[in-house]
Structure 1
Amino acid sequence: MKNSTTWILVLSLCSFNALSAMRCGQKLINLGDYKGYILAQCGEPESVETRTKIVGSTLHHPRRTLDIHEYEEIQIEEWVYNFGSYRLQHYLRFENGILKEIRSLGKGH
C-alpha cells in the first residue's frame, strides 16, 4: 500500500507542469530573478509577448462621502525558450521585470 501511494505521488509530481526553476547551461534560473539576469544567462528567447494588466480596488465609505480608487498598471512579458529537439521548451512570465512563473511546454523543435 505504501509503495503504491509513493508511486502515485511521484507520477503526479512528474506530470505537474509548473516549475520553480529552469537550467540555462550551468546556471539555474529561479522565480524572483530579474529579466536582465535571465537574458544574460540564457540569451534571447524564441518569442516574446508583452501586455499590460491593471489591478486594483475601490474602497467605499458607508455614507459615500469618500471613495478611494487604487489601481496599479503591471507590465506582463511572456517568453518562450526553445533549446532544441532534445530538450523541453520553457514558458516564462514576468511581472514588472521579475520572473513569476516557469512552465514546461513539452519537447522543443
Structure 2
Amino acid sequence: MARWLSLLALVASPFLFDGTAHALRCGTRLVVTGDPIHYVRSICGDPASITTSTVSRTRTVGSRIVAGTVIADSVTVTVAIETWIYDFGPRRFMEELTFEDGTLVRQRPLSYGTRTAIDPPVRRMHERVAIVDRRRTIV
C-alpha cells in the first residue's frame, strides 16, 4: 500500500506544483503573471521604486528555401521593460515585478523588507503624538 501511495505522489506532483506558480497578495486580492500594469497598480498601490529600460529583441518570423539554402526572415522589436519593487515592511518579503509592454511577465520574491517602509517619522521633543488607526501621527 505504501508503495502505491509513493508512486501516486510521484506521478501527481508535476500536476500539483510546477514550481513557476507565484502570486503576490495585496490585501485580499492576488496579482498573477499576465495581469496588466494598471490593474496591479490599482490593487497594490504605488511601488517603492520603479526602474525603466528598453530592450531590442530579434525574432524569427519565418523561413524559406532558396536554391537549396534555408533563409530565415527575422524582425527586430523594441520592448519597454519596467521593474517595480514593493516593500511591505520587515515582516514580509519584498517583491520584484517585471512588466514587458505593460503586462506582468515575472514575479520574484526578494529579502525581507525594510523597517522604514512602515515606520512613522521621528518625533521631536515637546511634540504631541496621537494614535490614529494604529499609526503614529504628529498633532
Is TM > 0.5 for Structure 1 vs Structure 2? Answer: yes
Q: Does 1:44 align with 2:46?
A: yes
Name the structure, 1 or 2, with higher relative contact order (CA <8 Å, separation 6+). 1
C-alpha distance in structure 2 between counterparts of 1:45 and 1:19, whole Å: 22
- TM-score with structure 1 setting the length: 0.74
Moved over 3 A (4+): 57-63, 66-69
Q: Flag structure 2 segments of 5+ consecutive residues without an equivalent.
A: 1-5, 11-16, 115-139
C-alpha distance in structure 2 between counterparts of 1:62 and 1:49, whole Å: 45
Cα RMSD (Å): 2.8
Which residue number in structure 2 is paired with residue 33 of structure 1? 35
Percent identity over the alignment is 32
Counterpart of 2:55 (choices 53, 56, 64) is: 53
Which residue number in structure 2 is paired with residue 84 of structure 1? 89
Amino acid corresponding to residue 31 of structure 2 in structure 1: I
Alpha-carbon distance, 1:91 to partner: 0.3
C-alpha distance in structure 2 between counterparts of 1:98 and 1:49, whole Å: 15
- TM-score with structure 2 setting the length: 0.59
Q: Flag structure 1 segments of 5+ consecutive residues without an equivalent.
A: 7-12
Which residue number in structure 2 is paired with residue 102 of structure 1? 107
Alpha-carbon distance, 1:86 to partner: 1.1
